[in-house]
Chains A and B, each alone.
Chain A
Amino acid sequence: MSSVNSGYEGGGRTRALFSGLGAIGRVLSMVAITILGLLAVTFFISRVVPIDPVLAVVGDRAPPHVYERVREEMGLHLPVWQQFAIYVTNVLSGDLGTSVLTSRPVAQDIARYFPATLELATLGTLIGTVLGVPLGVLAAVRRGHFIDHLVRVVGLVGYSAPIFWLGLLGLLVFYANLGWVGGPGRLDISYEYMLTPVTGMVLVDAALTGDWAVFRNAISHIVLPASLLGYFSLAYISRMTRSFMLNELSQEYIITARVKGVSEQRIIWGHALRNALVPLITVIALSYAHLLEGSVLTETVFAWPGLGRYITNSLQNADMSAVLGGTLVIGVVFVAINILSDLLYRLFDPRTR
């Protein structure tokens, strides 16, 4: 996705402008192709899985004429390519279809579930980054020491322990035994109806309306699942930070800096980390994207009405409008995160400017 702009030397403003527009055009066409490809693959996979989508609508007991009628209403009697063409046409006109499981327009479902996931994943990534990067740096600086082993063990557990199990364990300790955090769900039942959704993110909405009781309650509910996701991304981010840092610390410019008498703190944080940040941005972005689409198990344990669970549930019932709508959103998010990390690259790495 990265498009390094080095195609002209000393040309006029017009050439620069055209080149810039060209780059944007290239990016946009790549985005379009990526998303169309994604939709096509998802659509055709959905048509070959051995699940009858009509069953999700009419159930197991419907008489045959009802079954046939619904099958036709869903357009399943048409050739697959025609079904796909109809779907893409509808999407282009802004209609993502209706979910058979929720009886709501898919767009409305996504508007409800995506903010829940976004809130959780963002907080998770923040926790993972704020703790993971310093830990990784420390491990690299104190290579072979206690802290290094500790980071490695923490990372290993985060990598290998099933998140489902960790979630239940977390609930058992912090919710059931210590009573420090709120239980599953986004809010206590008594707060559920006090909030008018604006963005759909409970924390943001509570802050916007200045309802701090709801805000505190929401924090107490989100802190455990977000920390869990944070731990998961911390494991990844700290390991990668460590290896990037080790690479940077062995470079000649570090030796030069030391010879020049630059303080160790400045060498680590000002020089080595700054250079390690460039690849690290990709790592953090990927980890974020992963949390946005792959938190199904966490969402299940914590009864969190998020997008991952929505897509999985829809997939298991062959509710294809919902699956495709969800896939589309995830696809767009991936592309957006990629573009964002490209932009950050330019910010941190002067060579790409």
Chain B
Amino acid sequence: MKIVKALLAAGAILALTLLPTRAVTPDDTLVMASQIDDVITLDPAEVFEFSAAEMVGNSYERLIGYDLDDVSDIFGVVAESWEVSEDGKTLTFTVRQGKTFASGNELTAEDVVFSLQRALKLDLSPAFILTQFGFTADNVEEKIVQTGDYEFTFEMDQAYAPTFVLYCLTSTVASVVDKDLVLEHEVDGDLGHEWLKRNHAGSGPFAIRQWRPNEAVVMERNEHYEPEVPLARVIYQHVPESSTQRLMLEQGDIDIARDLGPEELQALEQLDGIKIQSGVKGGLYYLGLNQKNEYLSKPEVRQALKYLVDYDAIADTIMEGLAEVHQSFLPTGLLGSVEDTPFSLDVERAKELLAEAGLAEGFSITMDTRNTSDITGMGEAIQQTFAQAGIDLQLIPGDGAQTLTKYRAREHDIYIGRWGPDYQDPHTNADTFAANPDNSDDAAAKPLAWRNAWDIPELTKKTQSAILETNTEERARVYEGLQREVMDRGPFVIMFQEIEVMAMQDNVNNFIIGPSFDSNEFGEASKD
């Protein structure tokens, strides 16, 4: 009996600790559950990860911005105006007056010039977006020069298409950092890099106050930002599991759940007080067909495989609102994007093409498949449709880093991947899908065309000439031509464009899901 009593007592103690804790987030605080373990740095000169890019996008400003509903509409943010020189090689920017960093320091041309020079001198992963214009760590001090308190010049090595230059300046690497604040924390000439990895020195609507890796990122209103920011605080809480995110949203512990699967979204859609918001992003899902493989190097086989994917069924049943069919390498919204979808599941046509290639009996091949539910689901669906034409597709599941390592070494047969633009200009994708300057194993540049061993000297020239086309309409036509060529004979089965979907409390207003991963904006968001 003593035991039973002891057990009862223990139970009672335990029960006492179970307190009702139905929480509501404060009115001036937006709490998001999100998978933020991809954040490895917060320095805009280094940031290239989805979550960190969004944080930088909302806490720093760039020279140029674009309309989130119509990417073709470019306007100045930190830049008030700009002029292009007669030879087309130099841009002179006038910096907008009256902008203030979160530190209280005024933003001037000195900060802008420092920021661009800093990104080039540090030469970290995203710096290539700026080196495309002929800048190097050594020449940048002569090429990007302050000419007044609110004026500076930007001298390139060639007369690049102005749209190309301006779109590159909308990317996070071109964010303006607070020179005085950053240099206060400089150690051994690192331009404040070690410090800025974990801190903030921007002029955007929010200031990043705290980053606790794998736990949370806390952002607070920049009191100097104009117009006034409605929310006092935005918190990203790291919640790796999507089912957990759903429960927390239902309970009111968070305002927005960021990483929900189709099932969770369907369930939440039915609930009162919760709304679903979505936006088309630039990410593309595609199959990369390695041209080192004897079967895949045949043009008929590449064509046949494009007829062996049930695009609509995958979009409707596996992705369920998280992707739409898209078959060209430029996502909808980018200059010159081709919207045609010439391929659909056509097993008979695929069989004819395979017969033309002398493979009427089919063949066996492998596909490296990342072990996330979306990619695995797609892989299994493709396996079934390939089998209808006699192709035995073996899926090799693997972790993200593992499959990517193999892909980058060109050791795959087929790789099922996802590619997002680095900036909002068409060159970002053309340069990877339709250019391969050197197909040798030790090539310096290794774009997607190289990873799939697609040797295309002519197409590479066309791609490289498109960035010098100053007439925007003509430029768009060049990209249309490139997309159709890749669609027709390229080693890429481009299938879907990604849609970002989030579920939120219906009192959250003005949260904007932009077209790129750094353009989800909450500077005007509020709760009522």
Residues of A within 8 A of B218 (CB): 193
Cβ-based interface call for A351 (8 A)? no
How close is B130's CB to chain A, nearest CB, in angstroms? 12
Cβ-based interface call for A103 (8 A)? yes
Return the chain A residue nearest B48 by Cβ: A59
Q: Assess the B125–A303 pair: CB atoms within 8 A.
A: no
Cβ-based interface call for B83 (8 A)? no
Cβ-based interface call for A101 (8 A)? yes
Q: Assess the B244–A303 pair: CB atoms within 8 A.
A: yes
> In residues 45-90 of chain A, which contact B (Cβ within 8 Å)?
49-52, 55-66
Q: How far does the alpha carbon of A313 sit from the alpha carbon of B215 in the complex, in Å?
A: 13
- Contacts A189-B25, A300-B240 known; A309 to B214 CB distance under 8 Å? yes
Cβ-based interface call for B313 (8 A)? no
Q: How far does the alpha carbon of A291 sit from the alpha carbon of B446 in the complex, in Å?
A: 44
Binds A, one of B3-11, B354-362, B467-475: B3-11
Binds A, one of B12-20, B55-63, B329-337: B12-20
Q: How far does the alpha carbon of A65 sit from the alpha carbon of B49 in the complex, in Å?
A: 19
Residues of B within 8 A of A184 (CB): 239, 244, 247-248
Cβ-based interface call for A220 (8 A)? yes
How close is A49's CB to chain B, nearest CB, in angstroms? 8
Q: How far does the alpha carbon of A189 sit from the alpha carbon of B215 in the complex, in Å?
A: 11
Q: Assess the A183–B253 pair: CB atoms within 8 A.
A: yes
Q: How far does the alpha carbon of A66 sit from the alpha carbon of B131 in the complex, in Å?
A: 13
Cβ-based interface call for A188 (8 A)? yes
Residues of A within 8 A of B278 (CB): none
User: 1/0 contact trace for B235-263 toward A, CB 8 Å?
Assistant: 10111110110011011010000000000
Q: How far does the alpha carbon of A62 sit from the alpha carbon of B124 in the complex, in Å?
A: 8
Q: Assess the A130–B125 pair: CB atoms within 8 A.
A: no
Candidates B123, B197, B198, B402; contact of A66 at CB < 8 Å? B123
Q: How far does the alpha carbon of A49 sit from the alpha carbon of B406 in the complex, in Å?
A: 12
Q: How far does the alpha carbon of A219 sit from the alpha carbon of B3 in the complex, in Å?
A: 25
Q: Assess the A189–B29 pair: CB atoms within 8 A.
A: yes
- Contacts A55-B404, A56-B401, A101-B213 known; A66 to B445 CB distance under 8 Å? no
Residues of A within 8 A of B20 (CB): 179-180
Q: Assess the B405–A52 pair: CB atoms within 8 A.
A: yes
> Number of contact residues on B: which range applies?
35 or more
Candidates B3, B40, B253, B401; contact of A134 at CB < 8 Å? B3
Total contacts A-B at CB 8 Å: 168
Q: Assess the B401–A188 pair: CB atoms within 8 A.
A: no
How close is B69's CB to chain A, nearest CB, in angstroms? 27
Binds B, one of A22-30, A167-175, A255-263: A167-175
Candidates B7, B23, B244, B400; contact of A131 at CB < 8 Å? B7
Q: How far does the alpha carbon of A176 sit from the alpha carbon of B399 in the complex, in Å?
A: 32
Return the chain A residue nearest B432 by Cβ: A61
User: 1/0 contact trace for B420-449 toward A, CB 8 Å?
Assistant: 001000000000000000000000111000
Return the chain A residue nearest B411 by Cβ: A50
How close is A313's CB to chain B, nearest CB, in angstroms? 6
Return the chain A residue nearest B247 by Cβ: A176
> In residues 467-491 of chain B, which contact A (Cβ within 8 Å)?
none
Return the chain A residue nearest B125 by Cβ: A62
Q: How far does the alpha carbon of A131 sit from the alpha carbon of B14 in the complex, in Å?
A: 12
- Contacts A184-B244, A185-B237, A223-B18 known; A192 to B216 CB distance under 8 Å? yes
Residues of B within 8 A of A227 (CB): 14
Cβ-based interface call for B128 (8 A)? yes
Return the chain A residue nearest B400 by Cβ: A316
Q: Assess the B40–A56 pair: CB atoms within 8 A.
A: yes
Q: How far does the alpha carbon of A99 sit from the alpha carbon of B237 in the complex, in Å?
A: 21
How close is B405's CB to chain A, nearest CB, in angstroms? 4
Cβ-based interface call for B21 (8 A)? yes
How close is B52's CB to chain A, nearest CB, in angstroms? 11
Residues of A within 8 A of B33 (CB): 303
Q: Which of A63, A101, A113, A138 has the most CB of B within 10 A?
A: A63
- Contacts A55-B405, A131-B7 known; A101 to B40 CB distance under 8 Å? yes
Q: Assess the A109–B213 pair: CB atoms within 8 A.
A: yes
Q: Assess the A183–B18 pair: CB atoms within 8 A.
A: no
Return the chain A residue nearest B445 by Cβ: A64
A66-B125, A103-B198, A313-B37 known; 18 other A-B pairs, CB under 8 Å? A51-B405, A56-B401, A57-B40, A58-B125, A61-B125, A62-B125, A100-B40, A101-B40, A134-B3, A138-B3, A176-B251, A179-B20, A185-B239, A217-B21, A303-B238, A303-B239, A303-B244, A316-B400
19 A-B pairs, CB-CB below 8 angstroms?
A50-B405, A51-B399, A52-B404, A55-B404, A64-B445, A66-B123, A99-B213, A103-B41, A109-B213, A130-B10, A131-B7, A171-B247, A176-B251, A180-B19, A181-B21, A183-B253, A189-B237, A219-B19, A303-B241
Residue ranges of A at the interface with B (Cβ–Cβ < 8 Å): 49-52, 55-66, 99-104, 109, 112-113, 127, 130-131, 134, 137-138, 168, 171-172, 174-176, 179-185, 188-190, 192-193, 216-217, 219-220, 223, 227, 265, 300-303, 305, 309-310, 313, 316-318
Report, nearest first, the 6 A-B pairs whose CB atoms are least far apart: A102-B213, A62-B125, A52-B405, A180-B18, A303-B239, A182-B21
Residue ranges of B at the interface with A (Cβ–Cβ < 8 Å): 2-3, 6-7, 10, 14, 17-23, 25-26, 29, 31, 33, 37, 40-41, 48-49, 123-128, 131, 197-198, 212-216, 218, 235, 237-241, 243-244, 247-248, 250-251, 253, 399-402, 404-406, 408, 422, 444-446
